[in-house]
Chain A
Amino acid sequence: MYEKDGEQYFIVDAHIAFWDARPENRNRLGEGFIKCFYDYHRNLGPAEYLWPFEEKFVRYTEEDLMHDMFEVGYVDHAIFQPVYLGDFYKNGFHTPEMVAPIAERHPGLFTVNGTFDPRFGKKDLAHLESLHEQYGIKGVKLYTAEWKGDSRGWKLDSPEAARCLEKCQELGITNIHVHKGPTVWPLDRDAFDVADVDGAATNFPELNFIVEHVGLPRLEDFCWIATQEPNVYAGLAVANAFIHTRPRYFAQIIGELLYWLNEDRILFSSDYAIWQPKWLVEQFVGFQIPEDMQSELGVLTTDVKKKILGLNAAALYDLDVPAELDLVRDDAGSAAVGSEPLSPA
């Protein structure tokens, strides 16, 4: 919980990791991958939160995690979003198996998400079932651009993916986080392409599709889809971090998301351990759209901030929000201003 100027905020960090990128667990590609993370960390974060690379960034401790999230980071609940990356990291980069013991040691503080890859076929459905059985997963994180053997990725609207999504629906795994964002992955053609989310979201109206990194740098395509599909959400991982070095750019992103989606479909994330929730929460609560941009982009109200920082994710994951931290909601919801169908570019 974060408190400022008499207002209290319930904080859900919707995208965190506890990774192992030590030299003994990584190959050349794994080294390139974690170094790429480190450049994001160095470039966009405040200097006082900078970690040394080999000594800490490649592998931090459970104590670091608990401290950064809950002791100083104001976080009430955090969601582990796995990244297996088996071709880069011998034992995986950040898997549910690695973090489940941590979640068990700290009941109520973490959600462990799973994943699937339709290219594994039936084996993957069994894996999904076992993840659900063991960890009670309510969500998955997907990487449609992942290379596997000769394959250069897969599409969320393919029949193979549909089988996995059906299984999710059957098991009550309702939150489908899809990585569509800045390059950290070998990719083909245009792996940022968010078009496949459109078909999947139409075919599975009961599932929620959270597009991580809001499809950056394909924001226009993401907004176009999200405008038409009410079950598509914006995950702010990475985008959130622009608030520090690029506040005007961040203002534009947030302003456009509020215009094309609405305040109920945007989720805060630190993308820990690339960045830390403490400064992100403080800066976000203190943030306002610059005055000269307000006529175009509007302003961020306290209620909007409360929703983005935690209440929206709490609703998706059925988290208990203490009554004093919740908002009195009307059921009407708020329509996006830009929801008139219109194809960008």
Chain B
Amino acid sequence: MITVENVLDALAGVRDPEIDEPLTDLGFVDRVSVDGKSVDVHLRLPTFFCAPNFAYLMVADAMKAVQALPEVDDVTVTLDDHFASDEINGATATGGGFDEAFPGESVGELGELRDLFTRKAFTARQSRVCDAQLRAGRTVEELAAARLGALKGDPNLTRCIELRTQLGIDASPDSPAFVLADGSALDAAGLARFVRVARLVRLSLEGNAGLCRSLLATRYGIPDPEEAVR
């Protein structure tokens, strides 16, 4: 039997492509109801004008994730309170792409955009791991020579490895611990530069996540989480 918890678990595997955090953690899942083999999910976003491309990706990904649950026959995912709700809901309900949601677009599908933001997410995640190692007293030279398998005990590592795999970057224990977002190797000087630049990527991403959380809280009158940027 399908339960609301099963559905929420499935939705926890769907991330905001820009922020790289689960929809369930961001508060984007408004409600879930289950009736026999039918599942009804309502999503909500921080603003009326949140980028329709990312909104579309989240609705489509949520649809796919719930459809993949065993025993589920019928799924509706509805994005509420968005300027393009009708277009996005219509297209995802029929399995259409972004093109169908916004006919006349010449931009095609959103694979390239998703890839770009997966790489940014990887950069930001790796930056957290790297900064933690530096704070623990390891040098840039040591880290440039380190192997992925030798790093332990950082919760960001799991996501780093997931993202590497997703991007087709070697994630075996013998691979370099730190690489550029396109998978290329870093020497000590390169890693020192990476540390500085990746912090900017992380700042954008974490700042954006914080702003999204609190705008959502304001919009829907839910408690505002505390500032999370380090």
Contact = CB atoms under 8 A, between A and B. Distances in A.
Contact of B200 (A43, A188, A223, A248): A223
Contacts of A43: 214-215, 217-218, 224
Given A187-B52, A188-B107, A249 B227 contact: yes
A67 to B, nearest CB: 26
Nearest to A219: B204
Interface string A143-154: 000000010100
Given A183-B47, A345-B123, A219 B203 contact: yes
Interface size class of B (residues with CB under 8 A): 35 or more
B229 A246 contact: yes
Nearest to B45: A183
A189 B197 contact: no
Contact of A345 (B110, B198, B210, B215): B198
Contacts of A187: 51-53
A190 interface: yes
Contact of A39 (B51, B218, B227): B218
Chain B facing A: main interface SS: helix
A273 interface: no
A32 B81 CA distance: 9
A190 to B, nearest CB: 6
B83 A186 contact: yes
B119 interface: yes
A280 B204 CA distance: 22
B200 A185 contact: no
Contacts of A219: 200, 203-204, 207
Contacts of B50: 183
Interface string B187-221: 00000010011111101111110110011011100
B53 A189 contact: yes
Contact of A217 (B49, B204, B219): B204
8 contacts: A33-B49, A35-B48, A39-B46, A190-B116, A216-B204, A245-B214, A246-B207, A345-B123
Interface of B: 18, 46-53, 83-84, 102, 104-105, 107, 110, 113, 116, 119-120, 123, 181, 193, 196-201, 203-208, 210-211, 214-215, 217-219, 224, 227, 229-230
Given A32-B48, A39-B47, A345-B119, 18 more contacts: A33-B49, A36-B48, A36-B49, A42-B218, A150-B104, A152-B105, A152-B107, A183-B49, A183-B51, A186-B49, A187-B51, A216-B208, A218-B204, A219-B200, A220-B204, A249-B207, A252-B203, A344-B200
